[in-house]
Amino acid sequence: MRKPFLEFVKENFVLFDGALGTEIYAKGVYINTCYDELNISRPDLIKDIHKSYIDAGADIIETNTFAANRLKLQKYGLENQIYKINFQGAEIAREIAGEDLYVAGSIGPINERLKPWGPLSEERAKRIFIEQAKALIDGGVDILLLETFTDLNLMKQAILGLKENYNIPVMAQMTIGNDGNSLYGTPPELFTVKMAQWGADIVGINCTVGPKTMMEALEKIVNVVNVPISIMPNAGIPQNVDGRYIYLASAEYFGEYARRFIQAGARIIGGCCGTNATYTKEMRKSIHSIQPRIKIPKTIKVISDEKFEQSLPKCEKSAFAKKICDNKFVTTVEIVPPRGTDPGKPVEQAKILKQAGVDAVNIPDGPRALSRMGASFLSLIIQKQTDIEVIQHYACRDRNLLGMVGDILGAYASGIKNILIITGDPPKMGSFPDATAVFDVDSIGLTNVVNTLNCGRDLGGNPIEKPTGFFIGVGVNPGAIDLDYEIKRLEWKVKAGAEFAITQPVFDNKLFINFIQLIKHIKIRVIAGIWTVVSIRNAEFMKNEVPGDSVPDHIMKRMYDTKTKEQAKTLGLQIAKETINELKPYIAGAQVSMPFGNVKYPLEVLKDVL
């Protein structure tokens, strides 16, 4: 049974469905048809669209009632069926959503202007909205959604009318143009504040523009309102192609922006015109990578609260752990698993690194969804054949909880002592773009799981024959868009059992040092991720296309000042060395990348600290 919607929003990132109008049109219904009346004449068509969004992972679906108000229905001669059309629209959505998911009663603007710019009085506007809302509430909606409004004055009457007459949450969304303002010129940082002041429980923007413009507006909104924010862009701005209007923004692009919206402060995301269930599916993947839909079993939390002792003291878990405990600077290098079954090259790389004095190698888990050897298998091969310690990455993306526990027990029994737990990105690239994610738990939940196993208990709290003794690491992003949330997650990870952290690549030293100052209260040693930029193009990619990896302008200028590829490569190595030297007082060690699989690059970067 579902909670009240506002409680659900406080605890979860919420995914709305996508477009109804463009989906109805895509099914061959002409635009001169009254789409709202289809609730009566073609309910199965509407049910199929609703079901496609539920199957794709939506938490809430909107009723097919956007234009089902008195004035808009009049032009079809349907003004006497207002109640029936809206009630049926709500009832259809309620049937498909069931008892666990939510339904939003969609209410669009009226097609007349308020006085003195038009004939519509404020009181009549209120009555029109109240009339439509009653049928939706009677039909079983959980919230009322005012969407795609252009006139803030009309929005005011809608919010006031609904809040004065009904005890149900109201969500209010204006639409914006390419300049980021409402179509009447009101900036988003003003109209969202006003909507909240008039009583809207959730405020936001939808329709007209694509994700990029909405992201810019969201960044202005988050600092001025204290109610949940919703963002629902179009699939880009429609383009006229051979007489047809086509939306060009891809579902994968939407999925990436879904993550950015949440990181920037949105609690509710969804799609508008041009989006469909494929877009919803990609957005669900992004939400899963931040907050899994399936929560970790309560027994795990109880175990953590009982404070069982770990089987091994931290400093005895591995040589890598011992060196960190002794406040000695640790060095690690990332080795990407091979594409295929031949581990020869990674093994040779690990031998060279071991001989040079590198403490450990990091093995990433399933990078970029390519056909690569599993991280756990390569970790075992390297550790067995080279005697260098391995930090095995473990992503929550690909396995359910029971599978994770089996993998982790097997890895420890086989000799893996250090583990880096990450939530993982959705599998959206590479050889298998349609691969699905699992995300039973996120990195916080899995850290709790491994800590529980370290304490000699299974997920049910029962003793296990031989406890694990993992040295538990987690990821952290000093350049996160929502830094407060990133720090809060790090606090949760440490509380769950994390013992060290490795950052995403560091380019901006000032940003990193500021982050270290902000987490002084968190008792965890931090290893800086160092990415060697080997070309101008590589630097541009990291600056512009990798969220959270901020390459400062002064570094970009130095790269642009180089004359040849060789000069750029040499400078990139020098910048990486400078970064380590400057950050050394603040960090426990450095993890260095291996560009092009060439082992000489990380060794050059680490030359001064080995």
pLDDT by residue (tens digit) across 524-557? 999 999 988 888 887 777 766 555 556 788 888 8
Distance CA 114, CA 161 (A): 15
Chain region(s) in the chain for CATH 3.20.20.220? 298-532+588-602
Which residues make up the CATH 3.20.20.330 domain(s) of the chain?
A: 5-290
B/e letters for 188-223, b = 16+ CB within 10 Å, e = fewer, are bbebbbbbbebebbbbbbbbbbbbebbbebbeebee
For 137-191, the pLDDT digits (tens) are: 999 999 999 999 999 999 999 999 999 999 999 999 999 998 899 988 889 999 9
Centre a 10 Å sphere on the Cβ of residue 472 and count the other Cβ atoms it contains: 25
Q: Say whether pLDDT at 54 is over 60.
A: yes
Query: Over the stretch 393-412, which tens digit does the pLDDT of each residue have?
Result: 998 777 777 788 889 999 99
pLDDT at position 130, please? Answer: 97
Examine the pLDDT at 436 and tell me if it is beyond 80: no
Measured from the Cβ of residue 284, the count of other Cβ atoms closer than 10 Å reads 21
Q: Which segments of 168-270 are extended strands (E)?
A: 170-174, 202-206, 229-232, 239-241, 244-246, 268-269
Helix axes 553-560, 565-583, angle to 10 degrees: 150
Amino acid at 149: F
pLDDT band with cut points at 50, 70 and 90 for residue 306: very low
Categorize the per-residue pLDDT at 430 as very low, low, confident or very high, splitting at 50, 70 and 90.
Answer: very low
In angstroms, rounded to a whole number, what is the distance separating the alpha carbons of residues 481 and 260? 8
Quick one: pLDDT at residue 544? 66
Q: How many CB atoms lie within 10 A of CB 563?
A: 7
Burial class for 544, CB neighbours closer than 10 Å (0-12, 13-18, 19+): exposed
Residue 485 has a pLDDT of: 85
The pLDDT of residue 549? 57
Read off the pLDDT of each residue in 326-350 and give the average, rounded to a whole number.
93
Is the CATH number 3.30.200.20 carried by domain 5-290? no
Q: Per-residue DSSP letters for 105-124?
A: EEE---SSPBTTTSSB-HHH
- Per residue in 550-585, pLDDT (tens digit) is 678 888 889 899 989 899 889 989 999 999 999 999
pLDDT at 247: 62
Count CB neighbours of 403 within 10 A: 12
* Mean of per-residue pLDDT scores for the chain: 88
Read off the tokens for 438: 């699992």
The answer to whether residue 324 scores a pLDDT higher than 90 is yes
92-107 pLDDT, tens digit each:
999 999 999 999 999 9
Helical segments of 430-552, H only: 443-454, 483-496, 509-518, 536-545
Domain 298-532+588-602 sits in CATH at 3.20.20.220
Residue 29 has pLDDT above 70, yes or no: yes
Note the pLDDT of residue 353: 95
Assign 291 a pLDDT band (cuts: 50, 70, 90). Answer: low
Residue 318 pLDDT: 95
Range in 48-62, 293-307, 503-517 the model is least confident about? 293-307
Q: Enter the pTM of the model.
A: 0.59
- How far, in Å, are 75, 110, 166 from residue 71 at the CA level? 8, 7, 22
CB 229 within 8 A of CB 222: yes
- What are residue 500's phi and psi, to 5 degrees? -150, 165
**Residue 91 confidence (pLDDT) above 70:** yes
Residue 452 has pLDDT above 60, yes or no: yes
- The three-state DSSP-derived secondary structure of 263-275 is HHCCCEECCCCCC
Burial class (CB in 10 A: 0-12, 13-18, 19+), 486: buried
CA 232 to mean position of chain CA atoms = 15
Per DSSP, helices labelled H in 139-210 are 152-165, 188-197
